[in-house]
Amino acid sequence: MELSRRQVLRGAAVGATLAVTANTVAEAEVAAVVGEYDVVVVGAGAAGMTAGLTAARRGLSTVVIEKAATFGGSAARSGAGIWIPNNEVILRAGVPDTPQKAATYLAAVVGPSIPAARQQAFLNNGPAMLSFVMANSPLRFRFMQGYSDYYPELPGGLPNGRSIEPDQLDGNILGAELAKLNPPYLATPAGMVVFSADYKWLALSAVNVRGAAVAAECLARGTAAALRGEKPLTMGQSLAAGLRAGLMSANVPVLLNTPLQDLVIENGRVTGVRVPAGVIKARRGVIIGSGGFEHNAAMRNQYQQQPIGTQWTVGARSNTGDGIQAGQRAGAALDLMDDAWWGPAIPLPGEPYFCLAERTLPGGMIVDTGGERFVNEAAPYSDVVHVMYERNPTDQCIPGWLIVDQNYRNRYLFKDVVPTFPLPNDWYSSGAVHRAATIDGLASAIGVPQATLRATVSRFNSQALSGTDSDFARGASAYDHYYTDPAIFPNSCLAPLWLPPFYAFKIVPGDLGTKGGMRTDARARVLRSNGTVIPGLYAAGNASAAVMGRSYAGAGSTIGPAMTFGYIAANDI
């Protein structure tokens, strides 16, 4: 049976008090003990729910506290690609992975700054974590066939990919709890059941037979689910709901609207958490899975390069770095705070649009405010923004502009705007998009030199016709070809811009969340700057500095490690 929040808080508050002599609070105070467990997990996202499930199934009494009124965090909003080499799902699908290949590849991607022991801990525990989650929740997973590793040409890289995503789940399994699932970032088109791997094809559904077939399949899945009376969930919705269902059957309470305010430290050991109602004690340990600090403007300004703010991220609004700050007050060292899971975004009214396929489809190119290309537009999204920040101080490219022609618009879905259909008026009125009959007119509209933009388009067009981008090698990596149009020859990444009108979409450095946080060891224990462990304190997911370092191995490189280190932390406890 699952305990309600009130039962938990009331049941444990049998007149107990705790002197919080922590160095985390300025003065000692006496707080009511409102709950006591072996393990307190902070945050009901990818890392936290996996940690909670693991701790409970290992026989530890466990609670998950969640700041928001909903569970799932960014994980619920996400596409839920998961990158875990050598897991049973990909091996069953015939992916030619081996532990040696994965270790070689990860080391090549992340470089020497990430201790080998942490890399190895991720690789060794990831497959076991995934099998454990499948054995203890309704979650099942499917291989994202063809979603290349992001650097497939590095040793051990796989051009056909290693990423998986959750299978379809019926939301009815959660009963009333389904209403508390954090909504997705992008709503699935009505009546359809869509997987992450389908989007590549949906973008092409007007011009590609397989694209049309995938669209029909999504509709057929939606119809079948409706006939069965299901509430079909996929992507992050499926992942978060599946983990929550696992917690329900393991009797782990998830206390919504219960933010961590601080850690309780007694005799140098973390022994609990302070929440608005009082203190929840943790006999064995506290696992922080409270996500990144993407929505904390002060932290972004303090740690990250300008221009920055909270307006371009698509991460969950409740991720304001609370756990990282509490850890820091307890003595944790922080790493990678200047970095994020970056990706070019279009600042559309309401919410930024993290643009994947639209940025890389042929017939589009990105220019800086001088009107020049500066990057391989089809490179991994994190790399594109790294280039933007490197270049911006000397050659302004924030914002940059994605330039496309009407031919591109006639062929491809753009966000949810079907080919040939006009873009919404408020995209124009907000300044996120401009349109003009000529390249010169477009240059004037976005304030870049006409002659330079004309020359850039002309050079790009001749490279597209020859199939070789001699400036930025777009199309040289197998990864570049994931979101492209196979009908385009000789290079499916490159097509000329020729048919008016022309469009310019404003490109800013967006992100899926931040990746800097508490420094941890291979056991997910939080470390001080002198390398010693803070007893009783663990961190996983975006509250910890990423095992991926400044890179991104493949689709799912944030959720895969988040879940794995949540699992490692709970097992260590």
Which range in 40-48, 364-372, 410-418, 525-533 contacts ligand FAD by CB under 6 A? 40-48
Q: Where are the alpha helices (DSSP H) in 434-516?
A: 439-446, 450-466
Candidates 401-409, 413-421, 530-538, 539-547: pick the segment binding ligand FAD (CB under 6 A): 539-547
- Give me the helices (H) in 168-263, please: 199-202, 209-227, 235-249
* Residue 73 binds to ligand FAD (criterion: CB under 6 A): yes
Nearer to ligand FAD, 137 or 463 (CB): 137
# chain residues binding ligand FAD, by CB under 6 A: 45
Nearest distance from residue 293's CB to ligand FAD, in Å? 9
User: With respect to ligand FAD, which residue has the nearer C-beta, 33 or 512?
Assistant: 512
CB of 110 to ligand FAD, least distance (A): 15
CB of 84 to ligand FAD, least distance (A): 10
Task: Return the residue of 20, 55, 56, 79 that touches ligand FAD, per CB under 6 A.
Answer: 79
Position 542, amino acid: N
Q: Retrieve residue 252's tokens.
A: 């782990």
Distance separating the N- and C-terminal Cα atoms of the chain: 24
What's the token pair of residue 542? 């975006």
Question: What are the start-end ranges of the E strands in 492-561?
Answer: 502-514, 517-518, 525-527, 533-539
- CA–CA gap between residue 113 and residue 547 (Å, rounded): 10
Packing angle between helix 559-572 and helix 46-57, nearest 10 degrees?
A: 30
45 binds ligand FAD (CB under 6 A): yes
Closest to ligand FAD by CB, 402 vs 559, is: 559
CA distance 5 to 2: 9
Positions 483 through 512 that interact with ligand FAD (CB under 6 A): 512
Q: Which stretch binds ligand FAD (CB under 6 A): 24-32, 66-74, 153-161, 463-471?
A: 66-74
Q: Which of 17, 46, 12 is nearest to 32 (CA)?
A: 17
Report yes or no: 365 and 456 within 8 Å, Cβ to Cβ: yes
Q: Mask 323-362, x = binds ligand FAD (CB under 6 A)? A: x-----------------x------------x--------
* Cα of 180 vs its chain's centroid, Å: 20
Assess 322 for contact with ligand FAD (CB under 6 A).
yes
Q: Distance (Å, rounded) from C-alpha 44 to C-alpha 216?
A: 35
Contact between 232 and ligand FAD per CB under 6 A: no
Pick one of 44, 95, 247, 534: the residue that binds ligand FAD (CB under 6 A). Answer: 44
308 is a site residue for ligand FAD (CB under 6 A): no
Reading the block at residue 249, the tokens are 């059957």
Quick one: which of 246, 513, 536, 549 contacts ligand FAD (CB under 6 A)? 513
Quote the least distance from Cβ 530 to ligand FAD, whole Å.
26
> DSSP labels for 9-40?
HHHH-SS-EEEE--TTSSS-EEEEEEEEEEEE
Name the minimum Å distance from CB 74 to ligand FAD: 3
List residues bridging with 285 in a β-sheet: 39
Q: Can residue 40 be called a binding residue for ligand FAD (CB under 6 A)?
A: no
Beta carbon of residue 463, minimum distance to ligand FAD (angstroms, whole number): 31
Out of 319, 376, 491, 520, name the contact with ligand FAD by CB under 6 A: 319
Q: Does 139 bind ligand FAD (CB under 6 A)?
A: no
Smallest gap from residue 83 Cβ to ligand FAD (A): 7
Q: Which of 188, 318, 392, 463 binds ligand FAD (CB under 6 A)?
A: 318
Minimum separation from the CB atom of position 79 to ligand FAD (A): 3
Is residue 260 a contact point for ligand FAD (CB under 6 A)? yes
**Cis omega (within 30 of 0) for bond into 112:** no
Q: For residues 525 and 533, what is the distance between their CA atoms, to the nearest angstrom?
A: 6
CA distance 307 to 506: 15
Q: Smaller CB distance to ligand FAD: residue 107 or 316?
A: 316
Decide if 274 contacts 265 (C-beta within 8 A).
Answer: no
Closest contact distance (angstroms) between CB of 150 and ligand FAD is 12
Own/partner contacts of 465-468, CB < 8 Å, gap of 24 or more, are 465/496, 466/490, 467/491, 467/494
367, 562, 568, 569: which one contacts ligand FAD (CB under 6 A)?
Answer: 562
52 near ligand FAD (CB under 6 A):
no
Give dist(CA 450, CA 458) in Å, integer.
12
Smallest gap from Cβ 419 to ligand FAD, in A, equals 23
Are 465 and 363 contacting, i.e. CB atoms less than 8 angstroms apart? no
Determine if 291 is a binding residue for ligand FAD (CB under 6 A): yes
Candidates 199-207, 310-318, 366-374, 405-413: pick the segment binding ligand FAD (CB under 6 A): 310-318
Report angle CA 343, 344, 348 to the nearest 5 degrees: 120
**Interface with ligand FAD, residue 376, by CB under 6 A:** no
Interatomic CA distance for residues 333 and 528, integer angstroms = 5
For ligand FAD, the binding residue among 314, 345, 507, 526 (CB under 6 A) is 314
**C-alpha separations of 558 from 46, 80, 411, 446 in Å:** 9, 9, 32, 35
Closer residue to ligand FAD in complex, CB, 373/515:
515
Q: Measured between alpha carbons, how far is 319 from 316 in angstroms, rounded to an integer? A: 6
Q: How far is the CB of 292 from ligand FAD (least distance, A)?
A: 7
The tokens describing 104, both together, are: 């070689």
Which residues have C-beta within 8 Å of that of residue 558, sequence separation ≥ 6? 46, 341, 512, 513, 515, 541, 542, 546, 548
From the list 289, 380, 536, 554, which residue makes contact with ligand FAD (rule: CB under 6 A)? 289
For position 41 contacting ligand FAD by CB under 6 A, the verdict is no
Does 542 help bind ligand FAD (rule: CB under 6 A)?
A: yes
List 105, 185, 408, 472, residue binding ligand FAD (CB under 6 A): 185
Of 63-71, 276-284, 502-510, 525-533, the segment contacting ligand FAD by CB under 6 A is 63-71
> Using CA atoms, how far apart are residues 374 and 201, in angstroms rounded to an integer?
28
CA 184, 322, 568: angle at the middle one, nearest 5? 75
List of residues 6+ apart from 14 with CB closer than 8 A: none
Q: Report the interface residues with ligand FAD, using CB under 6 A.
A: 42-48, 65-68, 73-75, 77-81, 185, 259-260, 289-291, 314-316, 318-319, 322-323, 341, 354, 512-513, 541-543, 555-559, 562
